[in-house]
Amino acid sequence: MQRGRRSKELALISVPAISRKENLHSIYAMLIAVMMFSFMDTTMKLLSATYPATQVTALRALSSLPLLCAYVWYRGAFGGILKVRWSMHCFRAVLGIAMLTTFAYGLKALSLAEAYSIFFIAPALITALSVFVLKERVAAGQWVAIVVGLVGVLVVLRPEGSGFLTLGGLAILAAAACYAVSAITARLLARTDSTESMMFWLLTLMAAGAVVLAWPAWVPVRAADGWVLLALALSGFFGQLAITKAFSTGRASIVAPFEYTALAWGVAIDWLLWQALPDGYTLLGAGIIIASGIYLVRRESVHKESEHP
């Protein structure tokens, strides 16, 4: 899921006095973003059946890079594009490559609904990491929610043993962990670097690094997959714009829970393309994880509002 949700990483700023109309528009933007990212993940799953996971990562970055360059140029942000904290950007690129590669690998074995259910643990991981990296204080209730979320992941990974700790499930869990660390890194970078430079260098460095890793086992891209790559580029780019709009104009506590509508898209796409439906364990685990995530988002909102009356 690029879980490209990079602007979400940057949208952790309190937005005062937001009108109900603005929040409603932000919710619409988030719903569009989730739809776009679901389409993007579908194209990645289709590509992962033919190409190695590292090559899927390279294709993801390369396909969207021209659109991103056009956007950065339109914003007039190329002027200060070199004045950045290079070590942090390189670290985020490594995390991005690891995240997309493990996510693409996991999609080979799991349905979209299963992958999304496990990936939803990311907000809990971000909250936990904020204690150690950002020195934020996490209340006892938040720690309980984190543990509950982890329990939900174990439920999705099949407690009866037949599918417990599968490589695909562990790969998605690793992708969520990389996303969480990347989100924390983005918080630190946002203090000095612009959003445009963060988006540009993340995708550029990811493209370069993924191509180097994938080159020894590179599979020639089939002409028949051209439409898939086009859909990958467009869905990723417009999803990025929509999520930027969602978090820049609406309250995170109101907008963020709508990201969980990805599960509905995952179920629908799984059924339409692969005639697969999630089982009871996946739905139960997803419900547990989503409940813990919504609590953490709401708890963060209360904390922010107490800091900024």
Mean pLDDT of the chain: 86
Burial class, 306, CB count within 10 angstroms (exposed 0-12 / middle 13-18 / buried 19+): exposed
Q: Domain residues of the chain, as ranges?
A: 6-119+164-274
> How far is it, in rounded angstroms, from Cα 73 to Cα 111?
37
Quote the pLDDT of residue 306.
41
Confidence band, pLDDT 50/70/90 cuts, at residue 271? very high
Output helix, strand, coil percentages for the chain, rounded to the nearest 5.
80, 0, 20
Q: What per-residue confidence (pLDDT) applies to 13?
A: 39
For 100-105, what is the mean pLDDT?
96
Q: Reply yes or no on whether the pLDDT at 307 is more than 50.
A: no
Most confident of 11-15, 96-100, 154-158, 181-185: 96-100
Return the residue matching tokens 């990491």: 129
Report which residue type is found at 57.
T
**104-151 per-position pLDDT tens digit:** 999 998 999 999 999 999 888 988 888 888 777 778 888 899 999 999
pTM, two decimal places: 0.86
pLDDT per position as a tens digit, 58-94: 999 999 999 999 999 999 989 889 989 999 999 999 9
Per-residue pLDDT tens digits for 3-38: 455 455 544 434 444 567 777 888 899 999 999 999
Low-confidence winner among 113-117, 146-150, 165-169, 275-279 (lowest mean pLDDT): 165-169
53 close to 101: Cβ distance less than 8 angstroms: yes
User: Among residues 273, 167, 207, 196, which one has the least CA distance to residue 56?
Assistant: 207
Q: Is 206 helix (H, G, I), strand (E, B) or coil?
A: helix
The per-residue pLDDT for 301 is 60
The answer to whether 168 and 110 have CB atoms below 8 angstroms apart is yes
Model pLDDT for residues 244-263, shown as the tens digit of each residue: 888 777 776 678 889 899 99
Question: What's the CA gap between 86 and 78, in Å, rounded?
Answer: 16
Q: What is the pLDDT of residue 244?
A: 80
Average pLDDT over residues 40-48: 96
Which pLDDT score is estimated for 133? Answer: 83
Q: Say yes or no to pLDDT of 195 above 50.
A: yes
Ranking 66-75, 153-162, 208-217 by mean pLDDT, the lowest is 153-162
